[in-house]
Structure 1
């Protein structure tokens, strides 16, 4: 009797992280100082374990004051810069230390965005937890689960639709095990952690889940 092996691709997750004003990140600083989008990022360690040589393009016609990087080339898209980034302060290095290569990096208005693919939700949880220990404002802006609910094989969840309070409630409930089976925490415990009433918790969770799960439910009909 043959058994069907689970498809590891079905557990794959595509993640977009947003880090607001990350400390000592030249890309985020450049996007603020130049008032322009930073993209086309290329990185190499050059054999060093402590620093990374990073190049990026700022979408502007002229060099901007305050950018802590050396202008090296002018392209049709803007000005190309190069700088050295310390590994211990680089969110990209942190993500990749978990075995998930970052496939896209860009910065807008001081916020750094990273896109990567993780083998499962547990790896995403570990990366986000580690990022939040090092950086002040880390949010999952987009989460796509590999699956069969939509024609292209992905279910996309846009967490940007959530309010800051709804994200806090969902994150706290998730981290405390409210959604686990069996539950790691009940509604009263989560509400106490957030210093709100259980009824208010229920309202926040209902609103957040409707925003997050609505697109998934509609695609599955």
Structure 2
């Protein structure tokens, strides 16, 4: 029997970004105003570089939710709306500008969630950095890296388990080179920037690292 060799599937990264109450985002606003989940999002630029036509479904029993947009369809699932979004204020356009098509968009309680696949973590860092320049509260809520061709092969790191303070401490320690070898900054220097003691810094880092590294270590056992 003839066999055909197939190319190995390249390792990639599946990312879920979350933005808390982004300004001028009709999806986040609709989820906050209606108290319902916003999903089934579809977009088209129609050749425009400035505006994007966006449709979304507000999943609620009561259709009259005061959502800003034109209702275009009604089902048992909810009401379908259409509106125009400013491309400059659209996270999906930003992500796709880095060559990563967005695979899912939804909003819950005013927070916008966006799922996409990136070729590597360097591309993820570039996207997150660009998003944080445009939006105030951007977090990586889930990151899964494909490292195997067969089997489960995914490691899930849910940064949503971190408190805001833990994220702040980790981010600053990373920026100052605390995790570099040799270290770019020691514990006392990082603690001084945060105006806390070195022992308090160690407690924050230990708790944060356990939440982030724990799933990776468990998957590797």
Asked if Structure 1 and Structure 2 have the same fold, meaning a TM-score greater than 0.5 normalized by the shorter chain, the answer is yes
Q: Which residue of 2 aligns with 1:9?
A: 10
Q: Output the CA distance in 2 between the equivalents of 1:122 and 1:154.
A: 18
Q: Distance in 2 between matches of 1:61 and 1:191?
A: 50
- 1:196 Cα shift? 1.8
- Find the counterpart in structure 2 of residue 61 from structure 1: 61
After superposition, the Cα gap between the structure-2 partners of 1:65 and 1:78, relative to the gap in structure 1 and judged at 3 Å, is closer
Mapped partners of 1:102, 1:185: distance in 2: 37
Q: C-alpha deviations, 1:34-57, integer Å up to 9, x for none?
A: 110000000000000111000000
Does structure 2 retain, via aligned residues, the 8 Å contact 1:49–1:87? yes
- Give the match's secondary structure for 2:10: helix
Aligned to 2:24: 24
Gaps of 5+ in 1: 1-6
Matched ranges for 1:55-204 at <5 A: 55-148=55-148, 151-204=151-204
Tell me the equivalent position of 2:5. Answer: none
CA distance in 2, matches of 1:119, 1:179: 24
| Superposed CA offset, 1:127-170 (max 9, x none) | 1111111111111111112224x941110011122111111111
Name the CA distance, whole Å, in 2 between partners of 1:175 and 1:123: 18
Unmatched 5+ residue regions in structure 2? 1-7
Q: Which 4+ stretches in 1 moved above 6 angstroms?
A: none
Return the alpha-carbon distance in structure 2 between the equivalents of residues 120 and 179 of structure 1. 20
How far 1:175 sits from its partner (Å)? Answer: 2.8
Query: 1:175, 1:198 → 2: CA distance?
Result: 17
Count the aligned residue pairs: 214
- CA–CA separation in structure 2 for the residues paired with 1:145 and 1:183: 27
Task: For 1:98 and 1:38, locate their aligned partners in 2 and report how far apart those are by CA, in whole Å.
Answer: 25
What is the SS of the residue equivalent to 2:17? strand
Judged with a 3 Å threshold, the aligned counterparts in structure 2 of structure 1 residues 186 and 145 are, in CA distance, closer, same or farther, namely farther
SS at match of 2:103: strand
SS of structure 2 residue aligned to 1:33: helix
Residues 139 and 181 of structure 1: is their aligned pair in 2 closer, same or farther, counting only changes over 3 Å? same
Residues 33 and 64, structure 1, Cα contact 8 Å, conserved in 2: no
SS in 2 for 1:9: coil
